[in-house]
Amino acid sequence: MIIRQRTNWFRMLFIWKGSVLRKIIPQLAMITLFSLVILYFKGNIYEYKVHLNPAIFTLLGLSLAIFMGFCNSASYDRFWEGRKLWGSLVIETRSLTREVLTLINDDEPNAKDKKQEFVRMISAFCWALNYQLRNKNANEKLKNLLSAENFERVKDKKFKPVILLDLMGAWLNRQNQDKKMDTIVLASIDNQLNMMSQIIGGCERIANTPLPFAYTVLLHRTVYLYCFWLPFGLVDVVGWMMPVIVLFISYTFIALDAIIQEIQEPFGEEENDLALNSICTTIQFSIFEQADIKQPTLDVPTQYFID
């Protein structure tokens, strides 16, 4: 994901990173070339003059804009729900770390090491969820965070975040059995694990349930049919400026169509998807700092970054 400070209006006209323009240049070039051909032949196809009243495109454009607004709202709702779920994960991981560090009474010499091992499992959980949503193998990342025993239990599993929750629950149960925390504290901490389990389910719901395909097909077809018909309606009205006007209108509709397709899958790795790697890095740095685990300095971007 690109996060960039807003600049002045003139520079915004030429921003390239974060724009969908790169994706739609071939389509815009094709429509512009088609418009030039229509202009050259003055709207004639062989001996037949194609008459399309510009008022028709006003009605079609209004209907198309309303439908695109609906699809855009639906896609952005998915994007924002995903961001809220990961925002909740930031809160829950910090709370869980605090409770483990402060509410478990352990006077053994290696108590700090055991708690740090648990904190590393929390970080591993976040990275495992990240990689699962992006259909990537998390083993290389998890190997550096988990103990050899825990890594062996997790490495071949399909739903690694769920298994890591089980391992964290088992770790907490052992602390309770060893009388290092009472049942009330265990129930309180277990509630954090339940919240993290709900976050997994929420993310999986978004990732596995895209917008209905019929909406996508209808929107895509309507946008391109509108853009290819438009030159016939404008050729006798605006003359030689017709290709320029068509290009501008086509850019508006096709770019919005591309944005809708991009943000409806918020866990991907495109420029406008959620910055999951950066969120995981922030979580890891934060909870490691709480647990006094040595780590590199966290670099905060000053202008923009790509996740």
What pLDDT sits at residue 3? 58
What pLDDT sits at residue 197? 96
What pLDDT sits at residue 171? 93
Q: How many helices and strands in the chain, by DSSP H and E?
A: 11, 4
Domain ranges of the chain: 96-210+265-293
Phi, psi (rounded to 5 degrees) for 245: -65, -45
Among residues 226, 262, 251, the alpha carbon closest in space to that of 71 is found at 262
* pLDDT tens by residue, 71-101: 999 999 999 999 999 999 999 999 999 999 9
- Is residue 105 a contact partner of residue 181, using CB atoms and an 8 Å limit? yes
DSSP states of 250-271 as a string? HHHHHHHHHHHHHHTSTTSSST
Better-predicted residue by pLDDT, 162 or 214: 162
Contacts from 37-42 at CB under 8 Å and sequence distance 24+? 38/231, 38/232, 38/235, 38/242, 39/231, 39/235, 39/240, 39/242, 39/243, 42/235, 42/236
Chain mean pLDDT for the chain: 87
* pLDDT tens by residue, 200-223: 999 999 999 888 888 888 888 999
Give the pLDDT band of residue 305 (cuts 50, 70, 90). Answer: very low
User: Is residue 299 over pLDDT 80?
Assistant: no
Which ranges constitute the DSSP H helices of 104-157? 111-133, 139-143, 148-154
* pLDDT tens by residue, 267-276: 988 888 899 9
**What is the C-alpha separation between 90 and 263, in angstroms, rounded?**
21
User: Is residue 172 over pLDDT 80?
Assistant: yes
User: Is residue 300 over pLDDT 60?
Assistant: no
pTM above 0.75, yes or no: yes
